[in-house]
Amino acid sequence: MGKSQENRWVTRLTGMTKILVLLSLSIIGMVSYDTWYLIVLTVFAVLFYQSAHLKWHQVRGLLYAIAAFTALNLILVYLFNPAYGSQVYGSSHILIGRGFFALTWEELFYLLNMLLKYVFIVPLILAFLFTTNPSELAAGMSRIGFPYKISYAVELSLRYIPDVIRDFKQISLAQQARGLEMSKKAGLWNRLKRSTQILIPLVFSSMDKIEITTRAMKLRRFGTKQRRTWYMTQKLGKIDYLVLVSTGLLIAVGIGLFWVDGGRFYNPFK
């Protein structure tokens, strides 16, 4: 058995704190190309993720999809401009190959930094998604200045994700009951092709639910006021201030490194 929810400090954070941590670290992490700084952010993100005590079956599908997307992105970055690393760092040390697709140490180092960006952001996103109540998230977004209509739209989107997944599984089982093989017995290509056939009834089902929700909100005069109150609004606790201060220090260090490195890139090839 895992630790109780009370022992998970991530779950004790308010929605506003989680949003600020995710947005601020995502921005500074995407802008900076300082390798050591990205490693520090990764350590922080891993600690954040470990506190959530998520099970492997909860994140397995997302991790596989993100890993595939990351690998494809890195390959395409290299294929479209193999010399970009040399352009960034102002030198060229060939590791293997020759001509246009020659792999340099500079390009490899640049791709490593891009990989670190994905590695650090994924644990933050997973911990955020699986430990934040949608209503708590909407209240936090409204508290930091987002219009409440946008906050409410994000909340509804998150609430519909489990419904969409459930509907997809139900339609898949119905198709298999009619003789359409979609299990692991079928080939990967056949499963992908048949899964796309589920999208049409899934889209129509989702549109019906959206229409019902829209009518219900209009009947309750949603959007007629400039402001609204939130049932899940929470006060900041000690753990919130500690995490926010730690995040602020990380951001200050990241900004300071722009002057130390002479820009966004840490260059070990000087």
Tell me: pLDDT of 252 over 90: yes
Indicate whether 35 pLDDT > 60. Answer: yes
Q: What is the pLDDT of residue 102?
A: 83
Of residues 63 and 242, which shows the higher confidence score? 242
Average pLDDT over residues 179-183: 64
Residue-level pLDDT at 182? 62
What one-character-per-residue DSSP string does the chain give?
A: ----GGG-GGGGS-HHHHHHHHHHHHHHHHH-B-HHHHHHHHHHHHHHHHHH---HHHHHHHHHHHHHHHHHHHHHHHHH-TTHHHHHHT---EEE--GGGPEEHHHHHHHHHHHHHHHHHHHHHHHHHHH--HHHHHHHHHHTT--HHHHHHHHHHHHHHHHHHHHHHHHHHHHHHTT---STTS-HHHHHHHHHHHHHHHHHHHHHHHHHHHHHHHHTTTTSSS----TT-----HHHHHHHHHHHHHHHHHHHHHHHTTSSB--TT-
Higher pLDDT, 3 or 150: 150
pLDDT at 216: 81
Contact between residue 70 and residue 113 where contact means Cβ atoms under 8 Å apart: no
| Span 49-107, pLDDT tens digits | 888 888 887 787 778 888 888 888 889 988 888 888 888 888 888 878 777 788 888 88
The pLDDT score that the predictor gives to residue 185 is: 64
Contact residues for 15 (Cβ-Cβ < 8 A; gap 6+): 132, 133, 136, 137, 138, 139, 140, 141, 143, 232, 234
The mean-pLDDT minimum among 132-136, 186-190, 251-255 falls in 186-190
Mean pLDDT, the chain, rounded, equals 81
At 249, the pLDDT band (50, 70, 90 cuts) reads very high
pLDDT band at 4 (very low <50, low <70, confident <90, very high): very low
Measured in residues, the chain has a length of: 270
Closest among 53, 51, 32, 50 to 41, alpha carbons compared: 32
Q: Work out the average pLDDT over 244-262.
A: 91
In the predicted model, is pLDDT for residue 2 greater than 60? Answer: no
